[in-house]
Structures are given as C-alpha cells and as structure tokens.
Amino acid sequence: MTETTGSRRAQVTRAALLEAAREVFAVAGYDGASMVDIAHRAGASIGSLYHHFAAKSDLYTTLYNEYHLRQQHRAAQAFRTALAAGEQDALRLFVVGTRAYLEGCWQERKLAAVFLSGSGPAGFGIITRERFGDWLHANATLVNGHDRPLSDVLVLCLTAMATEAGREVAAASTKADARTVIDEVLELMGRLYPA
C-alpha cells in the first residue's frame, strides 16, 4: 500500500467516524453516546477510533469546531455576496450574514441542537465562549467601515440574539416554523437600528 492510498483510507475512516459521531450524539447526546456505538456505526474498530480521536471529548469538539467553521463560512459568503451586489449598510450586511447562519442552524438542526443544548464534555462551555468571542470579533470586523457603522454593544446584542435564535431554529418542528423564527428575529434586529 502506498502512502497516498493509506492517507486516503485514513481520511475516509476519519470522515466515517465523524459522521457516525454526529449521528450518535444527535440521538444520545454527549453523555449517552459511547465510543463503542460510534465505532460500530462507522463500521470501524474501536482501535481505529482511538487512533484518530483520543477521547469522546475530542470527537465532540472536532465536530463542534467543524460546524462552527461551516457556519462562519455560510455567513461570510452571504455577506460577500451582498457586498458584491452593492449593499453597504452595516446592519443590512449583518442581517444577511445572520440569515445564512440561522438557515445553517436549520440545515444542520440535529447537530446544532446538540451543541446548543448546553451539554458536552468538561470545559466545553469555555470553548463555546471562545467561539462566541471569535464570532463577535468577526462580526464587528465585517461591519466596520460600511455605511451606518454598528457600535460594539449593538454587535454584541445582535450576535447574542443570533445565537439564541439559532437554538430556537434548531428546535423548530418544521421548516415553516424555523422560517418564522428567522424572519421575526431578523425583523426585530432591523428595529434596533432603524433607517
């Protein structure tokens, strides 16, 4: 077996383990999930699982970090698209990015619900606070320099609103319910900084 073949196989195994962990955590939550169940669902050995991930907490935080990056990418892409279309109002740009984030919460609702539930390994609250701080900084940076700049406090309030709305979107029973939450939250955001 060549190094490239071994590397590809390792990537495929790692991806299967992450997908299995995603499914198991979505059903059982962090505390109820077991490494044996995850390995079994992935069709991998427990040794292979521990080769790729040191512990259940490692799997969980890896899933969380990847989810967080996808959410950042969704919001930034929507923001860039709006900018390219000529939008310069900071609040409208923020709202466009928030819509993409909230739609991502619906698209990945099972995983989002796990992360937004408050469960997780010891120290996970610190990780989520750090990611919130990263997101807050990214939001403040993105809207800086556009028409009608947003204050740091307003960016904080809007980001906190988006986070809590994400929890509600992920818990919505139907896509229509999720859409209602998204639309109402974005409309409320607009009222905080009227034209």
Chain segment 107-162, per-residue pLDDT in tens: 999 989 888 777 899 999 898 899 889 888 888 888 888 888 888 899 999 999 99
Q: What is the pLDDT of residue 1?
A: 55
Q: What is the DSSP letter of 11?
A: H
Which of 113, 94, 100 has the alpha carbon at shortest distance from 73? 100
77: amino acid identity, one letter = Q
Low-confidence ranges of the chain (pLDDT < 70): 1-3, 194-195
Residue whose pair of structure tokens reads 């120290």 in the numeric block = 123
- The rounded distance, in Å, linking the Cα atoms of 146 and 181 is 27
Model confidence, pTM:
0.87
pLDDT score of 195 = 64
CB < 8 Å & 24+ apart, contacts of 42-50: 42/13, 42/16, 42/17, 43/16, 44/13, 44/16, 44/17, 44/20, 48/13, 48/17, 49/17
CB-based contact 42:23 (threshold 8 Å): no
Q: Are 17 and 38 spatial neighbours (Cβ–Cβ below 8 Å)?
A: yes
Q: So what's the pLDDT on residue 71?
A: 94
**pLDDT at site 77:** 96
What is the share, in percent, of the chain residues with pLDDT greater than 70? Answer: 97
Cα 184 from Cα 116, distance rounded (Å): 20
Are 48 and 20 contacting, i.e. CB atoms less than 8 angstroms apart?
no
